[in-house]
Structure 1
Amino acid sequence: MTTTSARTGSRLATLGGNRDFRSLWLGQAASDFGGSLTTLAVPLLAVALTGSEVVAGLLGSVGFVAMWLAQLPGGYLADMCDRRAVMLWCDGIRAVLFGAVTVCLLLGAASVWMLFVLTVVSGALMVVFNASHSQAVRQIVPRDQIPEAVSLTQARGFAVSVIGPSVGGVLYAAGRVVPFAVDSLSYLFSMWFVGRLRTPLRPSRRPSVRRLLPDVGEGWRELWRNRFLRARTVYSTVTNVAVSALMYTLIIGKADESVVLGVAMSAAAGAGLIGSLISPYLQRRIGLRALLVATALVRGGCLAAAAVSGSELLFAATLAVVMLLGPVVRAALAAATLLLVPGDVLGRASSSSAFVGSALQPLAPLLAGFLLAAYAPTVVQWILAVGFGVVALCALMLPGLDVRPATSGED
């Protein structure tokens, strides 16, 4: 373990001296921070403009649809085009979009339709940017340092998630225009860092357009054949809806308490960071099915306790529990996927599974808006608790989830 830790520390130090990786990391950190501010500000502004939780939920649903539809085009552009150019275009367009919203707010000309355009375009561009960003990391970072690079990237995301919503809530309370102006500037910073990259980021080869459909089809065929992958897809579909509905219920239901909401979301992100640290321990000691069932029951139990007690604080704490257990579930499913899906179709099969697994997620924000408009908060909490009960039942009954990830020999 000491030798392994020393090697990891050495690789992290080497990554810190990698000029291009450092630039890419800092640029994405800037845009991630700006995005975390407006993730909270957009639904809050929608409620302020319309007075309708349903519209705010619909806005989130439309954003999910845009990101879902952008997955395959984003991957195609990352394979076919210069990744630096793709990232620069994505950042530039988003800077203009959020700058335009800033101007509209200053002039008192903001409308809910403007928010719909902003949500659709920025969500799609985020997916396209991330696809090219992943390819860029593979070209910039030596192969033996890829795990450390991914770890640093995830740490950046958690760190931004911890501080971003709290700052966003404070900025929105200070002035609705402020989060959008800061987000626009964050994309300009990202453009500057991406523009400093020296490593050529052009694709090594251009995939044949004639082979595009057959190649994609291989991933779908593996999804149909592989029993574990089918079970994972069904489980992910139900879980994504339940978790997203819970998060949007909290955001929309607390639209008039932006500072408190921001702090709650930051605390939840901190819980997610803890979850990522304990996930290896749990994976080595608990089978996949037991882990998935227990996670769903704990989440549902927290919601039921919040409904019985009527405590808003306990309901907000449930989000922290969801975030705490989220990295554990994702890591366990990823490890099992690596074990049970053939390597030559792993990427395409995993993408096909993710595409199906997120298909119903756009309905979650809309569902949250309708529930809050139709029922009292306690009733909504009970409905969500039942939803996680359905998740637990799926994890218990689906064939193909009896998997225990292999234990590393170094442990």
Structure 2
Amino acid sequence: MDAATPLTPLRRNVRFQLLWAGAACSTLGTEITRLALPLALLALTGSAAQAGLVGATLTAALLLAQIPAGIWVDRHDRRRILLAAQAVQVLNAVVLVGSLAAGGAGLLSFVLFAAMDGVCAAFVGNARQVSIRAVVPIAQLRSAFVQEESRSHAGRVLGPAIGGLLYGMSLLAPYLATLVAIAAAWVLALLARVPRRPAPRAGDAGDGAAPATARRGMLAETWTALRWLLAQRGLRELCLVLMAMNFFGGGVTLALIVHIESLGGGSALTGFVLTGIGIGGLLGALASGRLTARVSTGYLALGVPAVLGVCLMLAALPLAPWWPFFPILTFSLVTPALNVAAGAVTAELVPEDMLGRVGSLLAVASMGLTPLGPLLGGVLAGSLGGGWALCIAGAGFLLTAGVGAASPTLRRFDAQG
């Protein structure tokens, strides 16, 4: 077996820790760029619409590349895909930094950068996800995804702060930092030496996976993975819950901003309230290992949206501009547990040679509704007010929990059950 033995502590699994450290560098660079891109475009063009166009380009590229990336990861050398995609990200950042330094960066430069970065991110994400399964024993998957979730939330807390500080120094500084972070991620991925083609684990045989995916067309391979996913009772219902949560949660940030402003809160106070999302997420990630060990995945899929719904309705109370900080902090404390559980059961249940395709299908399903959430949230906040928009989103989460609770399959669902 390529993975470390179950008796070896995860902290001593060198390949996973190198892979995780590389992902941490990559996440930090991504979060720095997420803040720096709109700031730079606003400074260079003065157009918020152009900043939005670049963000939309990145999301669209990431979405469109998901299915091809999943198929390639299942077909070909995963280590080579990971390193090649990260190398292109480094070159992409070098080109943008060079354009900025030469004073020739305009809208087209940023659009091309975002498009290439989105495509690369799809390949990197799929290859890295499959690599975790390859180097971590099944018994330690939940612990590995706890560490992954902590990395993600830490990046969301540190990245914007570092990006804002660097941008205050110069326009070029955040992009140089991103370049260094992505280059470090490539080096760490190289040192991790993840298996090129992980050996199938016990139980993967007879699962309906195609034994020779490279000889089939992309549509046929995608259809095979989709058919397998739709046939998995429990995992199928979990996917629907996650899709609904992404939809109802998409407009929460905008509704919060409108609500806080309506209560007289300024931009500084709004920023303080929104830090509750990052702080709560990081604390929740650290506690998610214990929670997922005690509560089944199915019950988390019911309990988490219920808690989110209640928290959003509490946040809508017009008590004071600072009040939403506390329900939003609580909101963010519980979400990492469901993310960890979903990631672990997916890695455990999906056949080895189908991980890339199923992972890409899950990402597309999740991201496919992502643009609708902010759109609906903006319309509701603009017409009814931020507080009512929060209440409606909260009701959507409660409805999701209620519909899910009606499914005996979801209530009983767990990877080991």
Aligned-pair CA distance for 1:321: 3.6
Hey, which of these two has a bigger chunk of helix by percent? 1
The equivalent of 2:205 in structure 1 is none
Farther-moved stretch of structure 1 (251-260 vs 46-55) = 251-260
Q: Mind listing any 5+ residue stretches in structure 2 that lack a counterpart?
A: 200-210
The alpha-carbon distance between structure 1 residues 281 and 93, as it changes in their structure 2 partners (threshold 3 A), is closer
Aligned-pair CA distance for 1:304: 0.9
2:164 aligned residue (147, 166, 169): 169
The equivalent of 2:70 in structure 1 is 75
2:21 aligned residue (21, 26, 31): 26
Q: Decide whether the 8 Å contact of 2:255 with 2:387 is kept in 1.
A: no
Q: Decide whether the 8 Å contact of 1:83 with 1:202 is kept in 2.
A: yes
TM-score, normalised relative to structure 1: 0.75
Counterpart amino acid of residue 135 in structure 1: V
Percent identity between the aligned chains? Answer: 24
The equivalent of 1:309 in structure 2 is 319
C-alpha separation in 2, matches of 1:286 and 1:200: 32
Q: Is residue 246 from structure 1 mapped to residue 252 from structure 2 by the alignment? A: yes
1:14 aligned residue (9, 12, 15): 12
Task: Provide the alpha-carbon RMSD of the alignment.
Answer: 4.4
Aligned-pair CA distance for 1:125: 1.0
1:210 aligned residue (216, 223, 235): 216
The equivalent of 1:400 in structure 2 is 407
What secondary structure sits across from 2:407 in the alignment? coil
C-alpha separation in 2, matches of 1:290 and 1:80: 36
The alpha-carbon distance between structure 1 residues 160 and 354, as it changes in their structure 2 partners (threshold 3 A), is closer
Aligned-pair CA distance for 1:132: 1.6
The alpha-carbon distance between structure 1 residues 333 and 407, as it changes in their structure 2 partners (threshold 3 A), is closer
1:105-120 paired onto structure 2 within 5 Å: 105-120=100-115
Q: Decide whether the 8 Å contact of 1:336 with 1:403 is kept in 2.
A: no
The alpha-carbon distance between structure 1 residues 62 and 367, as it changes in their structure 2 partners (threshold 3 A), is farther
Q: Decide whether the 8 Å contact of 2:133 with 2:141 is kept in 1.
A: yes
What secondary structure sits across from 2:130 in the alignment? helix
Counterpart amino acid of residue 370 in structure 2: Q
The equivalent of 1:100 in structure 2 is 95
Q: Mind listing any 5+ residue stretches in structure 1 that lack a counterpart?
A: 1-6
The equivalent of 2:307 in structure 1 is 295
C-alpha separation in 2, matches of 1:299 and 1:159: 22
Counterpart amino acid of residue 240 in structure 1: N
Farther-moved stretch of structure 1 (67-76 vs 325-334) = 325-334
- Equivalenced residue count is 393
The equivalent of 2:368 in structure 1 is 359
1:273-292 paired onto structure 2 within 5 Å: 273-274=285-286, 276-277=288-289, 279-280=291-292, 283=295, 287=299, 290-292=302-304
C-alpha separation in 1, matches of 2:48 and 2:327: 21
The equivalent of 2:179 in structure 1 is 184
C-alpha separation in 2, matches of 1:52 and 1:268: 33
Aligned-pair CA distance for 1:240: 0.9
The equivalent of 1:4 in structure 2 is none
Farther-moved stretch of structure 1 (390-399 vs 31-40) = 390-399
2:279 aligned residue (253, 260, 267): 267
The alpha-carbon distance between structure 1 residues 182 and 94, as it changes in their structure 2 partners (threshold 3 A), is same
